[in-house]
Amino acid sequence: MRRRTVFQALLGALGGLAGTRAAQAATPGPQRSAAKAVYHLADLDKVAFALGAIENHIAGVGGAQNATIALVVHGPALRAFRRDAPQADIVARAAGAARQGVALFACGNTMRSMKIESRDLAGGFEIDDRGGVVRLAELQAQGYAYIRP
């Protein structure tokens, strides 16, 4: 008799587990949101890739009005955003992103070490004198998803 009770309890538990999983599958989960994202860019060789990721992000959410996106640039990557940079398309793409509402932040520490003035950068950049990593941490604390292409 005892075996039968144990067997019934085991079957009941398995049935309950299966029912719970079925209910979870049938219940829509939380909406995935691409509402706020901060892209972290430090590597010069990833500049075009990062800009492409931002462009794809904007397209993927149905337009810039559906997301709040920031790009924080520090280190060697900042060279690509100089007005006199050899790849003019990078400067144009950054300016286009800024026109769509992407917030562009340049690290003030990097600018000082590279002797770059704000007038040297493509239009649309805000200089963060406290540093790019400080801006990254603040945006993450505000709920921005961190993306490092």
Residue 84, CB-side half-sphere exposure with 13 Å CA sphere: 5
pTM, two decimals, is 0.77
- The number of domains in the chain is 2
112 shares a domain with 95? yes
Residue 24: per-residue pLDDT = 47
10 shares a domain with 57? no
CATH number of the domain within which 55 lies: 3.40.1260.10
Structural domain span for residue 5: 1-30
122 shares a domain with 82? yes
14 shares a domain with 71? no
40 shares a domain with 26? no
139 shares a domain with 104? yes
110 shares a domain with 47? yes
Residue 4: per-residue pLDDT = 58
Q: How much of the chain is helix, strand and coil, in % rounded to 5?
A: 55, 15, 25
Starting at the edge strand that comes first in sequence, how are the strands of the sheet with 145-147 ordered? Answer: 125-128, 103-107, 68-73, 36-41, 145-147
Kindly list the averaged pLDDT for each block of 10 residues, start to end, along the chain of length 149: 54 49 46 77 98 96 94 97 90 94 98 96 93 98 96
Residue 5: per-residue pLDDT = 59
24 shares a domain with 66? no
Residue pointed to by tokens 């292409």: 149
